[in-house]
Structure formats: structure tokens, C-alpha cells
Amino acid sequence: MRIAVGADHAGYELKAEILSLLEELGHSYRDFGAHKKDPGDDYPDFGAPVARAVAKGEFDLGILICGTGVGMCILANKVRGIRAALCHDTFSARSSREDDDANILCLGARVMGVELAKEIVKTWLSATFSGADRYQRRVKKVMGLEERPA
């Protein structure tokens, strides 16, 4: 699987752990930054390129990390074609893929430990969209809410 990964300064250290996990699991990835821990970094500078790359189909999935995961999730969901999910547990991670066909996982580095984050990533990556009629119908309705560019 091709995975786009990005983090701001708050998620920098967790991102390094997640990149190692992706290597261990045999996934290819691109690190969109941050490439150093600089408190002056703003999460949109790293989240937007990841979301756009996933939306364009350049990557199968994306992982975004900031302090709480909230900012990255809000940002990613502004990009047409993105269904970003903020997950703090493995149940939500699995459900976000199986039921909602999430294509970006958002994590909060300041609200969870490294081992939990790794378990969430493994669970999320191993799950796939169920394709059940009710979930297809719901995803289609959600995606229908996206406004067309002016």
C-alpha cells in the first residue's frame, strides 16, 4: 500500500515511530514532513499536501498527526474526496475503514501513547471498506455534501 504521512511539530516524534512501523509492515510511504521539530510549523503546511495527494490518487491512504489530531482532521476533511477520521482507539479505527471508507487516519500525539498509536495504525491499515449497501449509501450521501468549486 502507498501511504502519505504528515505531521506538525507536535506530531514529529510520533510520526517517526509510525514511519518505522510502516517499514516493518512492508508499506511504501512518503514523508511530507515536518522534517524537524520546529514549534513555528503549522499543521496545514503538512496536512494539506497529504490530503491533496490522497484525493488525487497518488497514494492509497494517508496518516496525519498533530497534537490532538483535531486540527489535521478538520483540515483534511476540507479537501474534496477526503474522508478523514480522528481515532483514539482500535474500534473506531476499524469502523472508520469498514463502515465509512476513511482514507486518512488522524492521530493526536499528545493524547495517546506510542504503542496505542501503533495498534491503531495496524488496525486501520488492515481493515477495508465492507462495501455493504447501507455503508455505500451513507458514504455516497456524505460525499454528495461536498460543494463544487466556484
Residues known to be catalytic? 66
Tell me the pLDDT tens digit for each residue of 7-54: 999 999 999 999 999 999 999 999 999 999 888 889 999 999 999 999
Q: With a threshold of 0.85, does the pTM exceed it?
A: yes
Residue that is written with C-alpha cell 512501523 in the block: 21
pLDDT (tens digit per residue) in 76-85: 999 999 999 9
Q: Are strands 61-66 and 28-31 parallel, antiparallel or unpaired?
A: unpaired
For residue 39, give the amino acid letter: P
Assigned CATH class of 2-144 = alpha beta
* Angle, CA of 19, 124 and 141, to the nearest 5°: 125
Question: Which one-letter DSSP state was computed for residue 104?
Answer: E
